[in-house]
Structure 1
Amino acid sequence: MSNSHLFLKSGFPRAPLQNGIGRYVCQLQRVTLKFCKNHGSSRGMREFIENHLVDFAKENPGVVVYVKPRRHRGPVLVGEYLNGDREWLNCRNANKDDISKWLQLLKTQNGSSSSLRLRKMWHTDVPSIQGPWTPFTLRAPEANVATYPNADASRPLDVEQSATDKLIELFKQQRLADKNKSTDEVLEEKRAE
């Protein structure tokens, strides 16, 4: 085990400001694109700025975009988030498609994902050797090769009939029994009541 986690901030995982519960708020506040006008490793950054930066700015009006030319330095993307965190990405020799993917990644993060050592809310003396449970842990192997949409996959597995379904079925049986009786028998039953 390395000791690199000792210098990271630690905390419990949580959604920032309950983001996504009411509406989604993009956590990326500003992006700074730093590049050299002449250096070869900044070619992809310059192409992105010339061809795609205006489109990115129009699609994301809540993100402030700064372009900062610097002499004899490598290209860098710096993302600043609402919680005060900064994400720094080196884009040396990256093409314009890679830079657009990195910008998309910065836009979808909340800033604290890579610089936070996650602490758990529980402790156990005997940890599991199988790893954490996921929704795919106990799935049938046939689901790996199935093509979707699949009617069999949406069918519930041997689920017992619910109480509501039982009542509806009893009601239908009672109505069928009433229809099969003659009207004279029904009138006699009503008089007897």
Structure 2
Amino acid sequence: MASRLAPATKPLFRAQLSSRPTNGHVAFIPQVRKVVFEYCEKWASSANTRSYLHRHLEDLARAHPHVEVVVKQRNYKPPIVRGFYLNDNEKVIGLNGFEITGIQNKVQLLLDSSGAKIKPLKRRTIESTTESARGIWSGLHVDETFKI
């Protein structure tokens, strides 16, 4: 009578051995993975977006083969371009009122962006890992008040 025992170790597949590619000195991986254009076929506000798509979309797709380019109709709404990134973030830019060169600039902004949240450079709060040795100073809690 042969008993079936579980294998001592789990089988190791080749797909588990591969590592996820990262940016470094050997390779550069663009952070954008997908760009979606959404426009209305009837509204006049989407006219420049429609002409941009007819004239420049194929060149954009050829210049950036790593990016999936999708065109969707968005009826009775202003045109937008949406960028999806490797860090599972997305950025949406409205294209209403832009000329064709402005649309090119906004699309290039999405292609060059990392997808990270925009952090303000001014007024960043200072956070310390340790507490202050002397505590927080307050002019109300001193023995002697300041005399002028």
Structures share a fold, TM > 0.5? yes
Match of 1:70 in 2: 74
How much has 1:71 moved relative to structure 2? 1.3
The structure with the largest alpha-carbon Rg is 1
Match of 2:64 in 1: 60
Question: Given the alignment, which residue of 104, 110, 127 partners 2:108?
Answer: 104
Q: 1:21 to 1:120 in 2, by over 3 A?
A: farther
Report sequence identity in percent: 28
8 Å CA contact retained: 1:31, 1:78: yes
1:48 maps onto 2:52 in alignment: yes
Match of 1:90 in 2: 94
Match of 1:19 in 2: 23
Q: How many residues align?
A: 108
8 Å CA contact retained: 1:43, 1:95: no
CA distance in 2, matches of 1:121, 1:110: 25
8 Å CA contact retained: 1:41, 1:94: no
Give the unaligned 5+ runs of structure 1.
1-16, 126-193
Give the unaligned 5+ runs of structure 2.
1-20, 133-148
Question: Given the alignment, which residue of 34, 40, 46 partners 1:30?
Answer: 34
Match of 1:156 in 2: none
The TM-score, its normalising length taken from structure 2, stands at: 0.65
How much has 1:117 moved relative to structure 2? 6.9
Q: 1:84 to 1:117 in 2, by over 3 A?
A: farther
Map 1:128-147 onto structure 2 (within 5 A). none
* Cα RMSD (Å): 2.6
Runs in 1 of length 4+ with deviation above 3 angstroms?
Answer: 116-123
How much has 1:120 moved relative to structure 2? 7.8
8 Å CA contact retained: 1:85, 1:112: yes
SS of aligned partner of 2:76: coil
